[in-house]
Chains A and B, each alone.
Chain A
Amino acid sequence: MTNTRALVLALGGAFLLLSVALGALTPAGALIRRVTLPFVRVSARAASGISERLPWFHQVSQANALELCESRLQRIVVDETALHTLSQENQVLRAEAKFSQSSGYDQVGALVISRELGSLRGRLLIDRGTRDHLEVGQAVITGEGVYIGHILSVQTQIATVILLTDSESRVAVATAGEDALIGVVEGRGNGAAALTYIPSSVNLNTDQIIVTAGTESKIPARLPLGIINAINRTPKDPFYNASVDPLVRFDRVTYVSVLRPEALRPGL
């Protein structure tokens, strides 16, 4: 009797595992996810709110971070003033040339429902999926328009975002204000990234802002993503590297936007 019961249990378990592995239970999984997702949204919002209100949970020294931010702010204010002037000139020129303002992308807002910020990994789970016409490779930005990563995998109601600090992340970049490709930003884990394969003919400075180059098919150009922190250069090498600080703290990101090509917008 005991042997028969054990055999039935073993067969049942094997059948369950086989069904799961073959994807036969995918509809059931989608149903469970649909039922669970509203609760996950609520608890993610609550946990994120608690985390933001309790600053001692964050690891970075507040004093060091403040000092660094102040020095950068001074430089950025100068740049911003110059940019404001250029922007006004640009508006006038665009009006005269009747240039289209459309970038070819629209934004899909998403809530971050889980995240993994480990020694190698940097990933977010968002509550949008193929139902919202998301696709692998689409760029993900914050509310301020800063590029943080792209869609790695997508399911019906959720999608995984690989952050630019993930060790498997690669994105081609340029310097702000210039369209020429200068290198590739590679994730290093632990919230760090490096700009590699910079030709020795290109001169970079610390605190220079870098933007996406737009060479990837679903990542538009000129999205700011990081700031040069330090440059590692040896005279004889044809290429050199630089370390890059992301412009946003990923442990504070709660809402993001996915840049979806306008052709994929529902109703078109």
Chain B
Amino acid sequence: MRWFSWVGYALIALLVILWDVSVRPYIRPLSYIEPLLPMVTILVLLQARPAAWMIGLLGAIGLDLFRFTGFPLATVFFCFYLLGVQLLATHVITSRSFYSAFVLLCLGRFFGWILLYASSERFVIWPMAYGLSAGIKGVGIQMIVDGLWILLWYSAVSYWARRGPRRYAQPRWFG
């Protein structure tokens, strides 16, 4: 069962890599749709930690392998992001709501954007920074899309919590 899960995680990470590397850059309206960060945020918040770490790290390593510059900054960013969210979810945040996930995700995007401009490479979490780099309109679109992503993953994990073999925390809107 565990081996099957790992293959599933690897396949999800592969889909994310394909989307981020070779679909988003070609079709402009899709460039705001970045699935990896919302997915790992929800998974950590709902205490599906193996899935979060496997998908997050495999996805980040894959992105780094197809980035324009050499240093593995996406992997480094995801390591710290996952660690930070996990610590917050364990010791600080008691809520597992949509609201908590959305705030964490917005913070993650913001830190990624800071790194983007602080780094001499300018490509810290490529290709995840379209929205925040495109001005206020881009930020708005990115936030709406991120909200929809969180809803989608919440629904998926909620379904899995009811039907699947693992017991994840049940999602809520607030509180």
Residues of chain A touching chain B, judged by Cβ–Cβ distance below 8 Å, are 13, 16-17, 20-21, 29, 32-33, 36, 39-41, 43-44, 46-48, 50-51, 54, 57-59, 113-121, 123, 125, 152-153, 155, 158, 160
Contact = CB atoms under 8 A, between A and B. Distances in A.
B79 A17 contact: yes
B65 A33 contact: yes
Given A153-B68, A160-B68, A39 B14 contact: yes
Contact of B79 (A13, A116, A153): A13
A121 B127 CA distance: 12
Contacts, number: 93
Nearest to A39: B18
A41 to B, nearest CB: 8
Contacts of A48: 26
A27 B70 CA distance: 14
Contacts of B114: none
Given A47-B23, A50-B26, A113 B68 contact: no
Contacts of B66: 33, 36, 40, 113-114, 125, 158
B27 interface: yes
A49 B123 CA distance: 26
B27 A32 contact: no
B67 to A, nearest CB: 8
Contacts of A114: 21-22, 25, 66, 127
B68 A29 contact: no
A42 to B, nearest CB: 8
A43 B23 contact: yes
Interface string B127-162: 100000100000000000000000000000000000
Interface string B16-45: 011101110111110000000000000000
Contact of A21 (B18, B62, B72): B72
Interface of B: 14, 17-19, 21-23, 25-29, 57, 61-62, 64-66, 68-72, 75-76, 79, 83, 122-123, 126-127, 133
B68 A123 contact: yes
Nearest to A157: B65
B68 A36 contact: no
A234 B169 CA distance: 69
A51 B26 contact: yes
25 contacts: A13-B79, A13-B83, A17-B79, A20-B61, A20-B72, A21-B71, A29-B65, A36-B14, A39-B18, A40-B17, A41-B22, A47-B26, A47-B27, A54-B27, A57-B28, A59-B28, A113-B21, A113-B66, A114-B21, A115-B26, A116-B25, A118-B133, A121-B123, A155-B70, A158-B66
A152 B57 CA distance: 27
Among A50, A113, A116, A117, chain B packs the most CB atoms within 10 A around the CB of: A116
Contacts of A29: 61, 64-65
B68 A125 contact: yes
B71 to A, nearest CB: 8
A57 B79 contact: no
Contacts of B62: 32, 36
B122 A47 contact: no
Given A32-B65, A153-B69, 10 more contacts: A20-B75, A36-B62, A36-B66, A40-B17, A40-B22, A43-B18, A43-B23, A114-B66, A115-B25, A155-B70
A155 B64 CA distance: 12
Given A21-B72, A158-B66, A119 B133 contact: yes
Contacts of B21: 40, 43-44, 113-114, 125
A117 B29 CA distance: 14
Contact of B22 (A17, A113, A160): A113
B22 A43 contact: yes
The 4 A-B pairs of least Cβ separation, nearest first, read: A44-B22, A47-B26, A43-B22, A47-B23
Nearest to B29: A57
B75 A57 contact: no
A63 B35 CA distance: 36
A153 B69 CA distance: 8
Contacts of B123: 116, 121
